[in-house]
Amino acid sequence: MKMPHVLRVDEAPERFAPLVAACAAAGVRCGWLDLRPPAGAPADLLAAAGAGALRAVAVGGGRSVAVKALRGEPVMRDLMREHFAGCAVVLVRGEVDGPRLAASGDGWTVAPRGAAARSLSTAELVSALRSPRPFGGEKP
């Protein structure tokens, strides 16, 4: 499986809406992963997962919500495979190994660890995300 690019973010999803929309328009699939504990899942789903169900899912109203009990800390490779197959990029709010993405005026700043930051327009960033290693040393 081809792993998506992982970009660390600090801001709320709304701040990245222009990038997500531009990715969608260009056919570049984008995902969002929040490494903070969820604010709240439906009680019935929590009860089902707590009772031992492999996964508890609610569907309707144009969305789905899934709850799965975890044993131990999450493993990034497993999360990418399970939830983000087909994505070119996943924006991750939380501490993760990968370049930091931040909004900068009308564009974006990408700062890989240990390398100089790059300023990119939205179109340049979307184009870069089509490359196997757009920001240097990160693993494809």
Q: Which of 103, 24, 79 is nearest to 111 (CA)?
A: 103
Q: Is-contact 140 132, C-beta < 8 A?
A: yes
Give 38-81 pLDDT, tens digit per residue. 777 888 998 998 899 999 999 999 988 888 888 888 889 999 99
Taking the whole predicted model, whether its pTM rises above 0.85 is answered as yes
CA distances to 19, 23, 94 from 108, in Å: 9, 14, 18
Domain ranges of the chain: 1-35+74-135, 38-72
Residue 85 reports pLDDT greater than 90: yes
User: Under 8 Å CB-to-CB from 87, ≥6 apart: which residues?
Assistant: 4, 29, 30, 31, 80
Minimum mean pLDDT among 1-5, 37-41, 125-129: which range?
37-41
